[in-house]
Structure 1
Amino acid sequence: MSLLITCEFAGKQIPDGLPQMDHLVESGHFVEDRPNPAKWKSDAVSLHIGRLLSQQLTAPLLFNPYSSQLIDVTKSLGHPKLFTERTRDWPPESKQFLINEVHSAYRERVRRAIRHLTIHFSPVIHLSLRTFPLKLGDRIRRTDVGLLYDSARDWEADFCADWVDELYWMCPNLKVRRNYPRRGTVDSLTKAMRGEFPAEEYLGIDVWFNRAWVARPLQIREDCLLTICRSLAMLTRQMAVEAA
């Protein structure tokens, strides 16, 4: 058994050679953006969590280095939100460049990592990390951590149920919900990988963290994240013993 950790929204780079960028710079758009990557949004907190999990659990970490304001690597080709408001009206050659150099390239990196791990350390538990805002419109999303999975895949459902139980005892103040704030079967990177790897070899879990608490760089946050790491370590050890 093995863990793979990925962060799809952590980057803020712009790929070299992007055809549309030269045109936008010449026309006066994004002039300040390109030399100042800080102006491009990124989910840096998810990368912080990913690095902590990777270090504590000795698990490989992959992250998308490019800004999700260009293309969403978690969406399938043809999805209406594959491209963002910033890029959906770009010419076909620029959009195809983003598909080839960002979307397809990143998914192939993840696919190769899963394939390698399934050969040597099956099954693979793939944790895809991201954060979400407390509010969606006028609705408050009342959870601290969401575990998203396909309930039709028994191993995923059992893993998440056991993880919730571990966290209940180890960190009772942390509110954890399953398949919230959305269902685990909607279009996503983990759903795409489920279509390529059998259920007994691959568990795809999206782990969503509420920014209301996880974006605050406080010691209590670090303590809580370390407890999450310990709960995962305990759960995976138990699974390994049961599988032996």
Structure 2
Amino acid sequence: MKVVLSCEHAVNTVPEKYKFLFQGAEKILQTHRGYDLGALELFKMLQNSDIAFSQFATVSRLLIDINRSPYRRTLFSEFTKPLNQSAKDEILEEYYYGFRRLFEEKIYQFWKQNHTVLHLSIHSFAPELNGEIRQTDFGILYHPGRQQEKQFAKIWKQELVKLLPEFCVRFNYPYRGKPDGHVRYFRDREEEKYLGLEFEMNQKYAENSQVHKKIAKAFGSSVEIINKT
């Protein structure tokens, strides 16, 4: 089995040529809407594990959301929707497909070599959204109808609970494991040789560097264990 790693909402970067679109929106870019706070640090910690391939997005989700299919309404945000089709196509080609194609090439390469791929997609979530307090520290998302994903999710949770017993880990929360996204794209292409899990960390820990480092270290150790399973 080959373990691959992605972080689709890693940064809040806007390329220079598109900064005019975000004038007055600098504060929004600093929030969970602009990127997944703390996710990139977890991603980098995992790169020290036995990962066959890893890749993180280099632009803000508010420029284009790499974790959505091209037909989704939320692919472009309210800041980029006013652009004409030619400008949108340019962003799609350079940043969306620039990320997705390379990742897909690597996965297909592993499939051709008859490897099963375990894809870990790293995210974080806002502690509160629309007045709702999210009741967990970590979420592990998987497709309930895919037994191997369910089994690896259980193993991952067990290891995290051992390493971080004071934290709460829940399955398919605060999001369900089935909706559209980068992981689902591969599920729809190769049922037998693909396992996709998404990890969600509560962003309240991103602002506490000591706790964040502790989580990142345990997170890396837990992935090394499931990699050997």
TM-score band, normalised by the shorter chain?
A: 0.7 to 0.9
Residues 42, 68 of structure 1: 8 Å contact kept: yes
Cα RMSD after superposing both structures = 2.6
What residue is the counterpart of 1:172 in the other structure? 165
- Scaled by the length of structure 2, the TM-score of the pair is 0.87
Distance 1:181 1:31, change over 3 A: closer
> What's 1:204 paired with?
196
The 8 Å contact of residues 5 and 51 in structure 2, kept in 1 or not, is answered as: no
SS of equivalent to 1:126: strand
Query: Counterpart of 2:87?
Result: 94
Amino acid corresponding to residue 125 of structure 1 in structure 2: L
Q: AA paired with 2:221? A: R
* Shift of residue 225, structure 1, vs aligned partner: 2.0
Aligned mates of 2:227, 2:48 — CA distance in 1:
15
- Return the offset for 1:32: 9.1
Aligned match of 1:116: 109
In the alignment, the residues of structure 2 paired with residue 208 and residue 99 of structure 1 have an alpha-carbon distance, to the nearest angstrom, of: 26
Shift, 1:208, TM fit: 0.9
Aligned with 1:55: secondary structure?
Answer: coil
Letter in 1 for 2:214: D
The letter of the residue matching 1:6 is S
**Residues 1:182 and 2:175 aligned together:** yes
State the distance in 2 between where 1:129 and 1:108 align. Answer: 18
Q: Which residue of structure 1 lines up, in the alignment, with residue 128 of structure 2?
A: 135
Change (3 A) 1:121 1:5: farther
Q: Mark the CA change 1:48 to 1:116 in structure 2 (over 3 Å): closer, same or farther.
A: same
For residue 155 of structure 1, the aligned residue among 140, 148, 151 is: 148
Bigger relative contact order, structure 1 or 2, given CA contacts below 8 A and separation 6+? 2
- 2: distance between equivalents of 1:170 and 1:33? 39
- Give the structure-1-normalised TM-score: 0.82
Q: Which residues of structure 1 form unaligned runs of 5+?
A: 240-244
Select 1:214's aligned residue among 206, 209, 212: 206
Report how many residues are paired.
226
